[in-house]
Structure formats: structure tokens, C-alpha cells
A and B are shown apart, each in its own frame.
Chain A
Amino acid sequence: MILRQRPRGVIIIVMKLLEKLGELSLYYINQIGRMGIFLVLVCINIVKPPYYKISYVTKQIYLIGSLSIFVIVFTGVFTGMVLGLQGYNTLSKFGSEGFLGSAVALSLIRELGPVLTALMVTGRAGSAICAEIGIMRNSEQIDALECMAIDPHNYIMAPKFIAAIISMPLLTAIFDVVGIFGGYLIGVVQLGANEGAYFHSMYKNVEYNDVSMGFIKSLCFGLLVVWICSAKGYFVHLERKGGFGAEGVSRATTSAVVVSSVAVLVFDYFITSVLL
């Protein structure tokens, strides 16, 4: 008897595990599917009439872009400064402080600029987007829009997507420039590397490819961040652990920030490996 029951118990546990696994995979497949459809719908709404008003886009550019400038300048300066410090110390071991400018500029333009800007924008604007849309969903405001025959993909999403795609490269450019200046401050002004060499090596070694890589990255990250954050808010009611009320929105926002940050880093690798 006992011998017989034991395998049955094991079977039940295995079945339960399999059930859970199946449920989870279904949930994630479902989620990927609806996020894909969401992206397609927004893109269709961006290119096809009826068009959203320009004032909606400028407002979103203000919210996503302009209001992020301060954070971007701040992080940019310090990133550049630490690059200047580290770079100078490392390069001076080989007596090649002359390359400091190109080292700082290349790492900023190719890698750190787009990635760190995307992470800052995720934290500042992505979370706000997710929370705003999530609350609209939970208080039936999105249903109300749909019943008024106003497509939320058009009215809410399209301006945010456009604004993010426009803002991200601009913010990245600011980050890069300010970062290079930060590297200059530490490397040249404080540690005494040659000023002419700093800018000349930058001028000689930074190529069009590097700039375009940074630009493409920032475009992709802009789309990625706004996509993940707004979809997380839009589908808050379908969250697996229950997307109800204030707690549901807070959970969705947390996960939006985590998922977009991870996605930025993962895609950074893939974009780099494709473009190199």
C-alpha cells in the first residue's frame, strides 16, 4: 500500500509542477503576443491618419525630454569625470595620456551615452508613463476613451512614442557632449593632460561609424523604453499577480522599470554585435 502510494504522490507533485510551468509559459507567450500587437497598433496609428495633435507631441517631448535634461547633464558630467580620472590613471601607466580624449569620447559615444541615458530616462520618464497609463486603465478612463470612439493607441500612445523616439537621441547627444567636457575637466584641467592632444586624438579617432552607432542605439532604446513602459501600464489589469488598484499600478511600474532596464542592456549587446 505505502509503496504504491508513494509514486502516486510524486506523480501528483510532478503534475502540479508541470501545470504551473504550462500556466506560466502560456502567460508569458500571451504577454509577448499582446505587447507585439500593441506595438504594431501604435506604429500604424503613428503613420496613418487620423493624426494626433502636434501640441500633444510637444507636451510629451517636454515631459520626457526637457524635464530629463537636468538629470542627464548631471549624470553626464560625472560619468565623463570618472572616465577622465580612470582613463588618465590607466593611460599614464603606458605613457599614452595623449589618447585620453579619444578614450573618453569613444566610450561615451558608443556605449555609455546611449545606455546610461536610456537608464535615466527609464527611471525618470518611463516609470511616470507606466503609472499614468496604469491609473487611467484602473479607473476606467481608457474604457471611457474607447467608448467615445477615441483610440487610446492614437490619443495617448502615439504622442508618447514619437516624443520618446525624438527625445532619446537628443538627450544622448547632450550626455555625450557634457561627458566629454567632464573628462576634459578632470583629465586636462585637474590632472594636467595636454589640452591639444585631448581634442586632437578625439578628432582623429572618432569616426562617423561610432556616432551613427550611438545614434541607432539611442533610437532603439527610446522605442524599447516607451514601448515596455506604456504596455505595462496599458495591460495592468492583465498582470499575473493581479493588477488591481494602487498596488497593481505600483507593481506594474516597478516591473516596467526593471524590464526596460534589463532590455536596454540586453539589446545593447545585440545591437553592438550586429553593428560592429
Chain B
Amino acid sequence: MEPLIQLIDVRKKFGGQEVLKGVNLAIYEGKTTVIVGESGKGKSLVLKHILGLIKPDSGKVLVFGKDMNKIGSKELKDIRSHFGVLFQNAALFDSMTVFDNVALPLRERTNASEEEIKIIVNEKLNLMDIEYSNEKYPAQLSGGMRKRVGLARALVLNPKIVFFDEPTTGLDVAKSNEIYRVFHRTQTKLAYTAVIVSHDVPKIFKLADYVALIHEGIIQDCLTPEDFQTSENPAIRDFVEETMGLIYESEHVEG
């Protein structure tokens, strides 16, 4: 199957620091790909390359088979109109209320009437378990609430591809489980392609079709969660051991 998104030998340097040293990654339609890795190793950076916000020093980023850095602004806009993005810091519009934040894509990109907008926005906000906060400003929300408003905004247009940068960081366990359930439900309903950056190992594996580990500036491997947990790749083994305890090692030794 032809991948929907493909990164080919993407390299990126900041000053003397070479963060991405030849990233190769394929993301398939309708699947959930989870990117894991230590903090500060370039997970968000990979997302920003896919979104076309950062140009690679060398290498290619293909989305729908088109090179994100060679296409014109109109085509880029067309591609991005299929995106739903949650930034790591949520990037809410801080001088707009919660309601207006979520309503903005509808107001700018569709011809929906204010009544329709109201219904859709409230539905999405309820989905994310946010109530009584429509008239609040982002600065008046808790960190976890900001994340959830960001999620509601990302999902409001029912995008084809969603990018979530740490969707559940800063949420309590019950809330993050609820968010995962929402993802599962919406994904089965809308069959979107998802790229999720997360530290929530191993819980996130339940949601993942593929797991990719970024380490030493490259994607070590992109495998199904089962294969990932039993991979022979030393970096992946270390990561699995560190994040999931020693059980897996003993299993590995026995197996």
C-alpha cells in the first residue's frame, strides 16, 4: 500500500546541533502511528516537518505524494485543509474565548450558520468533557483543559489526518483514558489517519497500529505494537525496558 505521508532521509540541524539525522518514516491511511522517544529528541520536530512549518536541510517530506517544500501556497493550503492539529502547547488563540477558538475553523472554512456552528462546537466540547467554559479565555483554563480545547479544535472539521502532539500530557488518568476512548470512537467512525506523539507508554500502544521510536536522530523502526515490544533493535529494547519494566526482558530471555 502506498503511504499517505512519507519522510525520506530528512535531516535538520540547528546551529551545531544535528537533531534529525536522516529520518525515514511512512504513515499509512486509516492507521494510527504513534511516535515515541525521549524528551528533546525531535518528535515535535518531525511533526512540524510533516506540517510544512519547518523546511528540512535535506530530504523530502511527501504528503499525498506531494513534496511539501516544492508545492505552491495554494496546494499547500489544499493539503492542510485535511489536517487537524494539536500542538504540544495547544497554541490556542489567546484573545478568543474557548467557543470562538473551536468555532474559528468552521467560520473561516465553511459556510455553516451560527446556529449550526453552535451545535457542532458544543458537541465537540462535550466530547472532550469541557462544560461551563465556553466564555472563558485560554489563560483562564487549566493546562489539561487547554489540551482538550485544542483537541476539540483539531477535530471540529472532521479532518482526514490528525496530528496530536502529546494529547494526554497533563491530564489525570481518568481523563486521559476518556480521551483515548474518544479517539477510538472517532477513529472508528471517521477512519482518519492519526499521527500521535506520546509519552504515555504502554497505554498508547492499545491505540496504535504502528509505533515508531525516534532515537539518535533517526526513526529506529516503525512496527506494530506487538513487534515493537519484542523487537531485537537495541535502542527499541532499551526503550521498552525502561518504559515498561523488566517483565518483557525476562520474557525475552525465556523466549
A interface list, Cβ under 8 A from B = 53, 132, 135-136, 139-141, 143-144, 146-151, 155
> Which of A132, A136, A146 has the largest number of chain B CB atoms within 10 A?
A146
> In whole Å, how far is B86's beta carbon from the nearest beta carbon of chain A?
9
Q: Is there an interface contact between B85 and A150, defined as CB atoms closer than 8 Å?
A: no
Partner of B91, one of A132, A139, A150, A155: A139
Q: Does B254 have its Cβ within 8 Å of any Cβ on chain A?
A: no
Q: Does B81 have its Cβ within 8 Å of any Cβ on chain A?
A: yes
Q: Does B59 have its Cβ within 8 Å of any Cβ on chain A?
A: no
Contacts of B81 in A (CB 8 A): 149
Number of interface residues of B (CB under 8 A): 23
B interface list, Cβ under 8 A from A = 48, 51-53, 73, 77-78, 80-81, 83, 85, 87, 89, 91-95, 104-105, 107-109
Q: Is there an interface contact between A141 and B108, defined as CB atoms closer than 8 Å?
A: no
Contacts of B73 in A (CB 8 A): 151
Q: Is there an interface contact between A140 and B80, defined as CB atoms closer than 8 Å?
A: no
Who on chain B is nearest to A150 by CB?
A: B108
Partner of B53, one of A139, A147, A155: A147
Who on chain A is nearest to B105 by CB?
A: A148
Partner of A146, one of B53, B78, B92, B95: B53
Q: Complex: how many Å from CA A146 to CA B87?
A: 12
Q: Complex: how many Å from CA A147 to CA B91?
A: 11
> In whole Å, how far is B159's beta carbon from the nearest beta carbon of chain A?
9
> In whole Å, how far is A136's beta carbon from the nearest beta carbon of chain B?
8
Q: Complex: how many Å from CA A255 to CA B48?
A: 30
Q: Is there an interface contact between A143 and B91, defined as CB atoms closer than 8 Å?
A: yes
- What are 14 contact pairs spanning A and B, CB under 8 A? A53-B107, A135-B94, A136-B93, A139-B94, A140-B89, A140-B91, A141-B93, A143-B48, A147-B51, A148-B109, A149-B109, A150-B108, A151-B77, A155-B108
